[in-house]
């Protein structure tokens, strides 16, 4: 028989990451690294950078491009490339635009 005292905390831990994932807020501009923090945007960012001709397959460049590119959030969490922050992308704070 399964011990309930062990099962409940184990299930809570297993599903705790699901509550953290969310969509971006429509109209806000996000640094790539902030999109990665709030949801499963890795593949979406890559696709958008490829679509706009800003992608590199070099691992070091991939991380720099992902983290320092800005995206505007659209309907249902969709994102569109805005620009690349050559001096680094800065977190604007909760419910504010990120900036270069």
pLDDT tens digits, the chain, 100 residues: what are they? 444 444 444 444 444 444 457 899 999 999 999 999 999 999 999 999 999 999 888 878 889 999 999 999 999 999 999 999 999 999 999 999 999 9
Any residues with CB less than 8 A from the CB of 70 and at least 6 apart, and which? 29, 30, 31, 32, 81, 82, 83, 84, 85, 89, 98, 99, 100
Q: Are 37 and 30 in contact (CB under 8 A)?
A: no
Cα dist. 81→20, 59, 85 in Å?
24, 20, 12
Q: Are 29 and 78 in contact (CB under 8 A)?
A: no
The values of phi and psi at residue 29, to 5°, are: -100, 135
Which alpha helices (H) appear in the chain, and where do they start and end?
4-20, 32-38, 42-51, 59-68
pTM metric for this prediction = 0.77
């Amino acid at each position: 028989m399964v011990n309930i005292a062990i099962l409940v905390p184990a299930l809570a831990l297993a599903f705790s990451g699901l509550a953290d994932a969310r969509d971006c807020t429509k109209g806000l501009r996000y640094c790539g690294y902030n999109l990665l923090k709030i949801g499963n945007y890795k593949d979406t960012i890559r696709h958008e950078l490829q679509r706009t001709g800003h992608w590199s397959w070099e691992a070091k460049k991939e991380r720099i491009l992902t983290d320092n590119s800005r995206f505007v959030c659209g309907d249902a969490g969709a994102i569109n490339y805005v620009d690349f922050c050559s001096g680094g992308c800065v977190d604007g704070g909760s419910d504010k635009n990120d900036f270069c």
